[in-house]
Structure 1
């Protein structure tokens, strides 16, 4: 009777505490994605501001981002867990500022390649943005907060793309001015990130009290399904070892953490659905980045921006807005993904492949635009489900 008296009042404040960090994280994601110059990046690099050639942009600059992201992903993942998310989100905000500052003032091939490295760091640190909230909220809110956080970034990108298209087509703003606006937005996002509360736990380096996990899992779930994948359902690890204080691990043992990481890896990927979704995630993310990286170059070949009016910003806005609607709806869809997940993966992946094929083979700018919109909507929908 006494234990229930203690636990009962504690649940309500915990239930309310998720609102503020979720709102701050969504605000950060919105502002960090509000970059009106991004749909016109290729045109900016090929134009008089940077005066680069197509060969330099497509063969020597854009690949730097792809390979930087690949190299940084795993160390950033470990750093995210060790530093407990918030510092890595701040690093992402700072990297965005450096990227856009250099986009404004850096000159020459080497400087722009260095800029692409920082943008690779920006994309690699997205893991902190999308995993931070799981260390703050309860398991039963995961689906909802995932849709909120991803929708915030998509809405930010939509608003930025619309503003960019209007300012270029109607107000005749220069692309340099659009980059100034983007730098302002990411700077405000960086300031917002400082107000995020610091999580007290993470998956591998900072564990929560096992008795607390068991107690809260029993109160919130009829059975703890997340434990079958090696997770405690609250952002901690099912195999946590208590330190001398009884509340958290003592001094971090890197080798022990890496062994635990390897054990959880083996346990997680013994699950066939987990393996299926993860393999899809890896291949689809690589494909998505490649398409995003070179789509503006394809559009430039079909309809050169130096001679024609282009609508890159409008297309990005439409695709992102419709994607945001789909992502937001996912948070409220009641579907057994264990049953229908693989079927959805197969069907929607075929749609993605068909859209990319049409975009590449049909030399009509409007068909290219339409295929790109379909491609992005379906990808955003599936990646949110996978998350």
Structure 2
């Protein structure tokens, strides 16, 4: 077994175990029914803490991920998740304060997930980026599906209670922690050579060391950031990443609260619903490797169409009195997001001519979290409008309408400019995406140096 395959397997195992948390689909019921925390406290005092914590922790994460070479951040994610579920199992979990502490740790774990997605691009060649992206994301979906299906069976067949789900999750997260320790450290020397290449025939002015690597990373941080977002392709996909992720985080955070407004004891199918999402997303994400679209041309149009579909799905969720329609809307919405975020991640990684993956993914997520924080404060927080849960989903639907309008305008501009240049919109023989990306990167490198 070659080294690359071993790394992919260990990373996939870590991704699987960290997502194998059977209690997640029933956290609202566990906190509300078992721990006797009111729905009002959960919605306005507990769940918003995750957003604020995520935002605060993300700043040091995206600044340090590339410097610390990914593995330490991944281990920190594993530890944060494990401590979260250990606290769930303790008697002190019944207090709002403990739940807020758990949300702080969960926010820290969410922020450090950037390293999981960035790590693989440092250890594989660019030609394998699309496959590596699909595998790493598919591992997450496999973990979620197995986890949520297990949860539904345990609850439906009365094999255990919510505490049983927590104990299983704790054991899985312990295995995830072990897997994170088995990941090899990324080589700072390889990262240095890829991040700071020299022209043919030139000699380096000084012998590289890890200290010099860190120093140069810090010195070029602002320059790299400006350079990344000066690329219009990276800018548009980053904009979609931030806007769509902002709404997706809110939907995930408050979906169980919406379901709880119409659920009865006979209609609690949260587990199977959450299980269907990764069941469908798993093959969808893997198939993204085979999708060969001229994203520089059709990307904005695709994002505009999907955004208006998302708006309709969320509006239907807010209007329907049926829990089963809500479940169906949630499944379609989440699968569409997982498919498009996989494409966005691959496109962004492929168009970076420097290995600033942690910086780019972290900044995009940071912008998403800033927007989500504003949305949470205005819509859900007691200090804001504090809207009822259905009205919150009207707002989330409207956010997708705004995203669609933005990308309709961008698509019209791109396609019009393309036609004016005399290039056909459709070609009988397409240049492969990877070859066009490599040419674009080569041109950017020449312009940079």
Q: What TM-score comes out, normalization by structure 1 length? A: 0.83
Report the Cα offset of residue 211 of structure 1.
Answer: 9.0
Report the Cα offset of residue 94 of structure 1.
Answer: 0.5
The answer on 1:36 being equivalent to 2:22 is: yes
Change (3 A) 1:202 1:286: farther
The answer on 1:21 being equivalent to 2:7 is: yes
Query: Could you tell me which residue of structure 1 aligns to residue 167 of structure 2?
Result: 180
**Contact 2:37/2:94, CA 8 A, preserved across alignment:** no
CA–CA distance in 2 between the matches of 1:356 and 1:242? 55
Report the Cα offset of residue 202 of structure 1.
Answer: 8.7
Report the Cα offset of residue 71 of structure 1.
Answer: 1.4
Query: Could you tell me which residue of structure 2 aligns to residue 129 of structure 1?
Result: 116
Change (3 A) 1:71 1:164: same
Query: Could you tell me which residue of structure 2 aligns to residue 235 of structure 1?
Result: none
Deviations 1:67-110 (A, max 9, x none): 11111112111121111100111111000110101111123111
Deviations 1:116-135 (A, max 9, x none): 00000111011000000111
Query: Could you tell me which residue of structure 1 aligns to residue 207 of structure 2?
Result: 245
Change (3 A) 1:246 1:61: closer
Query: Could you tell me which residue of structure 1 aligns to residue 236 of structure 2?
Result: 276
**Contact 2:267/2:323, CA 8 A, preserved across alignment:** no
Deviations 1:249-277 (A, max 9, x none): 62733xx5344121122122122221111
**Contact 2:67/2:214, CA 8 A, preserved across alignment:** no
Change (3 A) 1:246 1:118: closer
The answer on 1:267 being equivalent to 2:189 is: no
Query: Could you tell me which residue of structure 1 aligns to residue 266 of structure 2?
Result: 308
CA–CA distance in 1 between the matches of 2:194 and 2:151? 49
CA–CA distance in 2 between the matches of 1:73 and 1:290? 17
**Contact 2:17/2:173, CA 8 A, preserved across alignment:** yes
**Contact 1:89/1:125, CA 8 A, preserved across alignment:** yes
Query: Could you tell me which residue of structure 2 aligns to residue 320 of structure 1?
Result: 278
The answer on 1:152 being equivalent to 2:139 is: yes
Change (3 A) 1:274 1:108: same
1:296 to 252, 256, 281: 256
Report the Cα offset of residue 339 of structure 1.
Answer: 1.9
SS at match of 2:114: helix
CA–CA distance in 1 between the matches of 2:66 and 2:99? 30
SS at match of 1:21: helix
The answer on 1:379 being equivalent to 2:337 is: yes
Change (3 A) 1:271 1:296: same
**Contact 1:135/1:201, CA 8 A, preserved across alignment:** no
Change (3 A) 1:213 1:20: farther
Change (3 A) 1:142 1:210: closer
The answer on 1:140 being equivalent to 2:143 is: no
Query: Could you tell me which residue of structure 2 aligns to residue 88 of structure 1?
Result: 73
Q: What TM-score comes out, normalization by structure 2 length? A: 0.72
CA–CA distance in 2 between the matches of 1:103 and 1:139? 41
Query: Could you tell me which residue of structure 1 aligns to residue 36 of structure 2?
Result: 51
CA–CA distance in 2 between the matches of 1:100 and 1:315? 22
CA–CA distance in 2 between the matches of 1:202 and 1:270? 27
Change (3 A) 1:51 1:340: same
Report the Cα offset of residue 371 of structure 1.
Answer: 0.5
What RMSD in Å do the two structures reach over aligned CA positions? 2.1
Change (3 A) 1:209 1:349: closer
Report the Cα offset of residue 21 of structure 1.
Answer: 0.6
**Contact 2:228/2:234, CA 8 A, preserved across alignment:** yes
CA–CA distance in 2 between the matches of 1:252 and 1:76? 15
**Contact 1:243/1:250, CA 8 A, preserved across alignment:** no
Structure with the higher helix share, 1 or 2? 2
SS at match of 1:375: helix
Report the Cα offset of residue 335 of structure 1.
Answer: 1.9
Change (3 A) 1:292 1:209: closer
1:77 to 47, 62, 86: 62
Change (3 A) 1:202 1:289: farther
SS at match of 1:36: coil
Query: Could you tell me which residue of structure 2 aligns to residue 223 of structure 1?
Result: none
